[in-house]
Amino acid sequence: MSERPTAQELTEAIVEFLGGEILPTLDDPRLRFRMLVALNALSIVHRELAALPTEDDSEQRELVRRIRAGDVPPGTLAHVKADVEARLRVASPRYLDR
Amino acid sequence: MTTSAIDSDDRTEMQEALEALLGPVSEPVLLAGGASKEAWSVDAGGERLLVRRAAVGVIHRHTLSLRHEFEVLEAAYEAGVKAPRPILYIEDLDGREAFVMERLDGETIGRRIVRMDVPAGLAVEMAEELAKIHAIPRDRLPFLEAARLERMVDELDEFGEPHPAIELGLWWLRENRPPARESVVVHGDYRIGNLVVDERGLVGVLDWEFAHVDDPVRDLAFGLVRAWRFGVTGKRLGGIGDAEPYVERYNELTGADVRPEELDYWELAGNVGWAIGCLTQAQRHLRGQDRSVELAILGRLGAEVEYEICHLLEQAGV
């Protein structure tokens, strides 16, 4: 599944925010230094994620194509819901306690 | 360049531009939120004002220009809708389009409103204001466009990402469409979060940029969407009350006789629309139109809305 933003794109957004908006507001030299180190660590994660192969989403695309064509056999919803649940366990696990 | 340095230059220029039009004004304060439009708080001649101005370089499709938004606000105010008094449209305020309106006192942050001690009558008041909005004559605002359900499909297809849950929602909406009602002027984003509320109740309706012409029940049901309950999920109407008194009062005032299954249909449509909205917001970040973690993360949090779509489809017996 190719969820967007990908983990790599998310780390990139955080690097931009911390480096562009938070770092300039830090006056404490010790905090500034630690922020630079943290940004460096995050950049390592970013590059490591960039090296990963892209996930195959052909099955999802085929499913979407069939639903669009009105081909919705029994069990489709259960299958789709289980998939959303798996994504939520990563994106927002507390939402599943609802 | 730091954010505060930009703000300070901007503020001075903003103040000078406003003073040229309104006379002496207090120092403008840029309020939080609103990526496509800025909101500045300023006082002039003893009046508490709010200036809405276009943000730099943001082109947002499917929303009204500030000129049209101002005209909608004027029409709503004339129709007796509780809304900020529109004061002045400005074609060029320091190089950008803007308008000035009254600044209302009260709470607008949804998360806070659902935890406030709001009066039980708030749900009924919401119905009353909506009935007034839906009664605005269409020819009063001839530039408003009619909505099409198909636009949601077009938007989804632009992203090129597979989202089976959204697709299932769209499929069900196509298969189960209720008989069309006569289209009316709608607010387009009528929910907790776009209303000013205080301990006495509803103070005013804000954020008119999504106004268009549509099925009235779609507008009525949008406030039921789970995301706008701000965590108080047991209260179907925006985390502040039950849907029944809200719909009953709306029916009483409009004679619409909205049926529960019609409300369910449009609640699901509202969720599908917001699931696609989350992807749209994430795209604004990914395409570099508006880089921000807040927008980016919506691309992932959309899974919450997709889960709700699945839940509602189960309820509907799919």
Cβ-proximal residues to B66 (8 Å cutoff; 6+ apart), any chain = B37, B52, B53, B54, B89, B97, B98, B99
Cβ-proximal residues to B182 (8 Å cutoff; 6+ apart), any chain = none
Asked if B132 and B76 sit in the same domain, the reply is no
Q: Residue A19: closest CA among chain B residues belongs to which residue?
A: B2
CATH of the domain at B188: 3.90.1200.10
- Judged by CB atoms closer than 8 Å, whether chains meet at A64 and B171 is answered as no
Q: Which of B83, B102, B121 is the last residue of a domain?
A: B102
- Judged by CB atoms closer than 8 Å, whether chains meet at A80 and B293 is answered as no
Q: Choose the closest CB to B164 out of A4, A13, A63.
A: A63
ipTM score over 0.85, yes or no = yes
CATH of the domain at B31: 3.30.200.20
Burial B66-81 (b: 16+ CB within 10 A, else e): bebbbbbbbbbbebeb
Asked if B96 and B152 sit in the same domain, the reply is no
Q: Is B299 on the interface with A (CB under 8 A)?
A: yes
Residues of chain B short of pLDDT 70, as ranges, are 1-8, 33-35, 56-61
Q: Choose the closest CB to A80 out of B2, B301, B310.
A: B310
Chain B positions touching A67 (Cβ under 8 A) are 164, 167-168, 171
Contact call for residues B304 and A98 (beta carbons, < 8 A): no
Give the pLDDT confidence score for residue B2 in this predicted structure.
Answer: 40
- Judged by CB atoms closer than 8 Å, whether chains meet at A91 and B161 is answered as no
Q: Which of B102, B130, B161 is the last residue of a domain?
A: B102
Asked if B169 and B240 sit in the same domain, the reply is yes
- Judged by CB atoms closer than 8 Å, whether chains meet at A92 and B310 is answered as no
CA distances from B173 to B36, B307, B312 (A): 30, 16, 12
Asked if B222 and B311 sit in the same domain, the reply is yes
Contact call for residues B158 and B68 (beta carbons, < 8 A): no
Asked if B83 and B122 sit in the same domain, the reply is no
Instruction: Please state the domain count of chain B.
Output: 2
pLDDT digits (tens, 9 = 90+) for A66-89: 999 999 999 999 999 999 999 999
Give the pLDDT confidence score for residue B3 in this predicted structure.
Answer: 45
- Give the gap in angstroms from C-alpha B80 to the nearest C-alpha of chain A: 39
Q: Cα–Cα distance between B101 and B51 in angstroms, integer?
A: 6
Residues 25-84 of chain A with CB under 8 A from chain B are: 25, 57, 60-61, 63-64, 67-68, 70, 72, 76-77, 80-81, 83-84
Asked if B138 and B249 sit in the same domain, the reply is yes
Q: Cα–Cα distance between B180 and B144 in angstroms, integer?
A: 19
- What is the pTM (predicted TM-score) of this model? 0.92
Cβ-proximal residues to B27 (8 Å cutoff; 6+ apart), any chain = B11, B15, B42
Asked if B276 and B133 sit in the same domain, the reply is yes
Which contacts of A21-26 are long-range, i.e. CB under 8 A and separated by 24 or more positions? A21/B3, A24/B2, A24/B3, A25/B2, A25/B3, A25/B4
Asked if B28 and B92 sit in the same domain, the reply is yes
Tell me which of B2, B168, B230 to substitute to probe the interface with A (most A C-beta atoms closer than 10 Å). Answer: B168
Chain A positions touching B298 (Cβ under 8 A) are none
Domain range holding B282? 110-315
Q: Cα–Cα distance between B207 and B192 in angstroms, integer?
A: 11
Chain A positions touching B288 (Cβ under 8 A) are none
Q: Taking Cα atoms as reference points, which of B283, B307, B305 lies closest to residue B295?
A: B283
pLDDT digits (tens, 9 = 90+) for B29-49: 988 766 678 899 999 988 999
Beta-bridge partner residues of B202: B197
Cβ-proximal residues to A58 (8 Å cutoff; 6+ apart), any chain = none
Q: Which of B102, B120, B152 is the last residue of a domain?
A: B102
Asked if B207 and B170 sit in the same domain, the reply is yes
**B151 or A25, greater pLDDT:** A25
DSSP B70-121: HHHHHHHHHTT-S-PPEEEEEEEETTEEEEEEEPPPSB--HHHHTTS---TT
Give the pLDDT confidence score for residue A3 in this predicted structure.
Answer: 86
Count Cβ atoms below 10 Å from residue B233 Cβ, excluding itself: 12
Give the pLDDT confidence score for residue A29 in this predicted structure.
Answer: 96
Chain B positions touching A81 (Cβ under 8 A) are 165, 307, 310, 314
Give the pLDDT confidence score for residue B94 in this predicted structure.
Answer: 83
- Chain A with chain B: Cβ pairs closer than 8 A: 99
DSSP-based three-state secondary structure for B9: helix
Give the pLDDT confidence score for residue A1 in this predicted structure.
Answer: 44
Cis check for the bond before A73: say yes or no (omega within 30 of 0). Answer: no
Tell me which of A67, A90, A95 to substitute to probe the interface with B (most B C-beta atoms closer than 10 Å). Answer: A67
Tell me which of A59, A61, A68, A84 to substitute to probe the interface with B (most B C-beta atoms closer than 10 Å). Answer: A84
